[in-house]
Amino acid sequence: MGSLGISAFAVKPVFALENKMVKPVLLSTWDAGIAANKPAWEILKNKGRALDAVENGVMVTEASQNCCVGLGANPDRDGFVTLDASIMDEFGNCGSVAFLERIKHPVSVARRVMEKTPHVLLVGEGAQKFAVSEGFPLEPAELSEDAKKSYRDWLKQSRYQPVINIENKQHGPFAPSQINGEWNHDTIGMIALDMNGNLSGSCTTSGMGFKMRGRVGDSPIIGAGLYVDNEIGAAVSTGVGEEVIKICGTHLVVEFMRQGMTPEEACKKAVERIVKRNGAKAKDIQVAFIAINKQGEYGGYSIQKGFNYALCTPAINNQLINPKYLF
Ligand code: GLY
């Protein structure tokens, strides 16, 4: 074989990338990710499976008093908290639940859907029935005290107006005065690469505060709110779910990585697509993606300033990262 052929083969990145692989790596959206990363990182550090890490991690946020995730969150317009969640493993298995009421840990129900049913997505009453049959307790229907107050405030105007970066304005718990009674969403999404080099992801939310009853966002839609391809990478989204669904956001991010883009470049390209579709209206929309590739490279990008994510790597001990943004 000629020297040209040998050297062209020798510089192929396959083995080099394998050697460079950083693991484990863990990312989760917003500053609530700092608390969520703690149990997830313990699992990853102890050579546990990425799937277990991303489930246990976001359960912390589901159990916390949070405007945007779990049963303590803001209700829909009719005064009921409805939850969406999804999970995806290294084999491409996935499960999700949507419009689920009175169950504390929708992400774990999503995992049971993945592992114990032939289906991917269960919704509403059927999802709740399945959860109860799996031993998940039916929690009281009552709103948390904070959610009651914010709902009362919201009812004064009954206006729906997305508030950009509401997640960080509130730092998880409720702070109604900061947002004049206007409530929004969002999500905790978590993606991880474990010591075995396997990827998984999870996503859980109460969706947009004061949404129409029955509204479901991107979080339980595989390929929109969450996507994992163990050969390439994983991505998760946060922000206005309708916009993410319209571009199949996280699938797009993973496909951009497949084409050779870094995680940050892939996230940027996806948010640019949302901006292009929306023209001038994009100024009122926040969407962000975070992504990780098989080599342990990571990144994120948002439309608006103010998005952040919590990161753990062998060199970075659970730090908030402010990624780049378009506006
Ligand atoms: N990104 C969460 C939602 O729109 O429901």
220-277 per-position pLDDT tens digit: 999 999 999 999 999 999 999 999 999 999 999 999 999 999 999 999 999 999 999 9
- Lowest average pLDDT, out of 166-180, 270-284, 298-312, goes to 166-180
The predicted-structure confidence for 92-130, as pLDDT tens digits, reads as follows 999 999 999 999 999 999 999 999 999 999 999 999 999
Q: Is 185 in the pocket of ligand 1 (CB under 6 A)?
A: yes
Q: Is 218 in the pocket of ligand 1 (CB under 6 A)?
A: yes
Q: Is 296 in the pocket of ligand 1 (CB under 6 A)?
A: no
Q: Is 66 in the pocket of ligand 1 (CB under 6 A)?
A: no
Residues 6 or more apart from 76 whose CB is under 8 A from it? Answer: 82, 207, 210, 211, 212, 213, 215
Task: Output the pLDDT for position 207.
Answer: 95
Q: Is 187 in the pocket of ligand 1 (CB under 6 A)?
A: yes
- Distance (angstroms) between ligand 1 centre and the Cα of 247 equals 14
Residue 12 reports pLDDT greater than 70: no
Q: What angle do CA 127, 114, 233 make, to 5 degrees?
A: 125
Is the pTM for the entire model greater than 0.85?
Answer: yes
- Distance (angstroms) between ligand 1 centre and the Cα of 185 equals 6
Mean per-residue pLDDT of the chain: 88
Task: Output the pLDDT for position 163.
Answer: 55
> In this structure, what token pair is assigned to residue 100?
């689920």
Length of the chain: 327
Residue 66 reports pLDDT greater than 90: no
Residue 184 reports pLDDT greater than 70: no
Identify which of 243, 83, 214, 238 has the alpha carbon closest to the alpha carbon of residue 147: 83
- Distance (angstroms) between ligand 1 centre and the Cα of 152 equals 22
Q: Is 29 exposed, middle or buried (0-12, 13-18, 19+ CB in 10 A)?
A: buried
Exactly one of 61, 187, 205, 250 is catalytic; which is it? 187
Catalytic site residue 250? no
Ligand 1 atom at shortest distance from the alpha carbon of 217: 5
- Domain annotation for the chain: domains and CATH numbers: 8-325 (3.60.20.30)
